[in-house]
Chains A and B, each alone.
Chain A
Amino acid sequence: MPRSKVQLFITCLAEQFFPGTLENMVALLERLGVEPVFPPGQTCCGQPLYNSVFKKQTRGLALKWLKTFSRSEYPIVSPSGSCVDMVRHHYAELFPPDSPERRLADETGSRTFEFTEYLVKQLGVRDVGARFPRKVTYHASCHYLRGLGLRGEAKELLGAVDGLELRPLPEEETCCGFGGVFSVVYPEVSRAMMENKVQHILSTGAAVVTACDAGCLMNMGGGLKRAGSSVKAMHIIDILAAKE
């Protein structure tokens, strides 16, 4: 199998809070014959600033990101749907039409993929050879679902995991209440939304809830913890890398 290469866009949230997921992402890519490279200049894509519309500051972070990743022509793969949505769909609008920055944003954005999207749509992989004999329910993260238009990819991959029993989550496509800055600007509303989500997760009887975005997992995982539940919030990569 010819070894293709990808650039790892690890995202600030996953770097700080999900290091194991990143290590698993590297292992999985290698298992699939893909060689990851890591551009060390990366920090944050700028989404928190974009969502609060600090345009100048967002532009600065976007330029830094583009400089870091456009040095290589390899595709860019990330464990976060919302960060990919930011790069692919919102970088371009930060720069004037026909500007070199706009062209760079368009070109680089078009080869930036969310991890499961890369597996299913670019590599054509469904079965990664994982084994995870537990009951799992899946939450569709908003930007993964509506921003990137990914509806079936994650569940296809989960469906091929040996021993995994996928339990449908009521209101699977409803936001968990994270919303980036929203979670601290309106904590009480965020709580109400998160508690709805936690109730739905518990109603499935699953031992694990999974998603394709670190933000949602922090929110749901914290919510489950606070509720005293033993249900774990796991990134889909950690399930796909499992061989237990």
Chain B
Amino acid sequence: MSVPPKTISFGKYTKHIPPGIPSAVQKATAKFWTSREARVAELPQWEDLRRAASDIRLHTLRHLDAYLERFTDRFAGAGGRIHWAGDAEAARAAVLGLAAEKNVKTAVKVKSMATEEIGLNRALQSAGVEVWETDLGEFIAQLAGVGPSHIIVPAVHMTKEEIAGLFREKLGVDAPADPTELAAIARKILREKFLAADMGISGANFLVAETGALVTVTNEGNGRMCTTLPNLHVAVVAIDKIVPDWESLAVLLKLLARSATGQKLSAYTSFITGPGRSPDEGGPGEMHLVLLDDGRSRILADPGAIETLKCIRCGCCLNVCPVYKNVGGFAYGWFISGPTGAMFTPQILGAKTGRELPFASTLCGACNDVCPVKIPVSDILLYLRGRVVEGDAVEGPAAPPLIRAGARIGALALGTSWIYRSGAALMRSLLSPFGRDGWLNTLPPPVDRWTRVRPFPLFKSRFRKWWAGRDAAGPAGHAPFENKTRDGGKS
């Protein structure tokens, strides 16, 4: 439930993936991906948009101090109050302080990754505040007592039958496995909560520096309820969500919904600039914004990783990631999963805690190609692998020394011609007697990690001998190697 874990064991978790998860995840992500493909095909300027968005994000991050100052000035000018939070604890304290001050009994929430990051629900509940997630997926995850397993679809790992069972168990209602009816049940319960709540909590997809507006992108209408019905609206937003102006926002909005759900725009794109100005206008009497750093300043100062923060949390990289689609979100150990989680988590929680995550990728690069803000995900994962293995200016090494010794031996064997050749010959003669049809069905540990899954081919190095024999005999008579002559390969 989004309590930061001490260690994240991707390997241990993925040894026994609950069998229902991959099929549920693959079904949902395939739907999003198909729609995304259709929307992208409609926009011939898609690649230009991605480049523009990448530039906007990087420019903003490089001048974040100035934009944050401009934003907070305008936000305060519109009547909002800013609370700076250096870490998760400070952010929780700010929200809890407000809850105590205003004697809040019930809070309703818009789906928000920042509040998951700081573990806000648990903190509020411990302080005696009743908290209700009002996004349907997040509501289901809350009932199940888990965090989100996908950035956009928190309960993506569950089937409708499982959700119906959960409703029957936790809500004591007669729930059929029908999405429309399940939504109706949730709506009925949540309507009462919206009206009774003393505090509405949201995140934000963007903060517009030009006017101090908070932008939320939602689909269910619950967002508007949470941010307008209760008299107190508290938003928790990370500092990297800033965009300079409306023009930049327009570019990012064009990419966000298309990449996330394959919609042109989400059903609701809300711009909130300060609290209600008069009773007739409606809206909350007070609006507070907790601006969360939680390790982002450290990433900003790290040229090898700064692009991590370009992420606009569309979740598209999850939908194309063959690893994520086979393991689901919980394997990544914290509130954010998939390729973007594998980049983000080790940088926030530390390389020691998150050391397995940069390796939880085949570096296939599918994420790089679809990221709407062109984050070089594979490069950043490689960079973070380096931090785990050798350590860097940010953190010391987190991998066991044994691994480094193994790499030195491997490098020696691969990089020294005679060891490489005699080693291959040795493997060939040692292993050949155990082969069947050219394959080895079992190998001893630790390389049984390969043969547990599929057989290993027999070593068959014979090319050098073949080449030499051919040289000696062949009419073509190639010298083994020739001196420099410019010849070129083009016909």
Q: Can you show 6 pairs from A to B with CB atoms below 8 A apart? A: A6-B489, A43-B416, A46-B414, A123-B489, A124-B491, A221-B457
A23 to B463, Cβ gap below 8 A?
A: yes
Q: Say how far A51's CB is from chain B's closest CB, in angstroms.
A: 6
With A37-B481, A226-B454: A15-B463 Cβ-Cβ less than 8 Å: yes
Shortest A90–chain B CB gap in Å is: 9
A19 touches B456 (CB 8 A): no
**Nearest neighbor of B11 in chain A, beta-carbon distance:** A186
Nearest 6 pairs of A and B residues by beta carbon: A179-B362, A222-B454, A57-B411, A75-B489, A175-B364, A53-B386
Name A51's contact: one of B363, B408, B466 (CB within 8 Å). B363
Which residues of A have CB within 8 Å of B462?
19
CA distance A19 to B404 in the complex (A): 31
Footprint of A on B, CB under 8 Å? 10-11, 14-17, 22, 322-323, 326-327, 359-366, 368-369, 382-383, 385-386, 388-390, 403-404, 407-408, 410-411, 414-417, 420, 424, 427, 437, 439, 446-447, 449-450, 452-464, 466-467, 476, 478-491
| Contact A33/B389 with A64-B415, A146-B366, A222-B456 known, Cβ cut-off 8 Å | no
Which positions in A face B, CB cutoff 8 Å? Answer: 1-2, 4-6, 10, 12, 15-19, 22-23, 26, 30, 33-41, 43-44, 46, 48-55, 57-58, 60-61, 64, 71-75, 77, 111, 113, 118, 122-124, 142-143, 146-147, 173-175, 177-194, 196, 218-219, 221-223, 225-226
- Point out the residues of chain A lying under 8 angstroms from B485, CB to CB: 73
Q: Which residues of B contact A190 (CB under 8 A)?
A: 362, 453
Bound Cα distance from A57 to B389, whole angstroms = 13
User: Given A142-B364, A187-B449, do A4 and B326 touch, yes or no (CB 8 Å)?
Assistant: no
- In the complex the two chains form, is B408's CB within 8 Å of A57's CB? yes
Q: Which of A6, A122, A196 contacts B326 (CB 8 A)?
A: A196
**How far does the alpha carbon of A57 sit from the alpha carbon of B341 in the complex, in Å?**
29
Within 8 Å by CB of B14, from A1, A15, A189, lies A189
User: Contact at B359–A185, with CB atoms within 8 Å?
Assistant: yes
- Whether A4 and B487, one on each chain, are in contact in the complex, defined by CB atoms closer than 8 angstroms, is yes
Looking at A6, A49, A52, A146, which has the most chain B CB atoms within 10 Å of its CB? Answer: A52
CB distance B326 to A193 under 8 Å? Answer: yes
A189 touches B323 (CB 8 A): yes
| Contact between B417 and A175, CB atoms less than 8 A apart | no
**Given that A52-B389, A75-B489 are known contacts, is A146 also in contact with B365, CB under 8 Å in the complex?**
yes
Other than the given A53-B382, A54-B408, 5 more pairs (CB < 8 A) read A5-B487, A38-B467, A43-B414, A53-B383, A124-B491
| Given A53-B385, A187-B452: A17 touches B460 (CB 8 Å cut-off) | yes
* A33-B491 in contact (CB<8A): yes
Interchain CA distance A77-B463 in the complex, whole Å = 16
Query: What CA separation (Å) do A1 and B410 show in the bound complex?
Result: 44
B411/A186 in contact, CB under 8 A: no
Inter-subunit contact A54/B407 (CB<8 Å)? yes
B362, B382, B482 — most chain A CB neighbours (10 Å): B362
Q: Are A223 and B454 in contact, with the CB atoms below 8 A?
A: yes
A49 to chain B, nearest CB (A): 6
Bound Cα distance A153, B273 (Å):
53
Q: Nearest CB to that of B428 among chain A residues?
A: A16
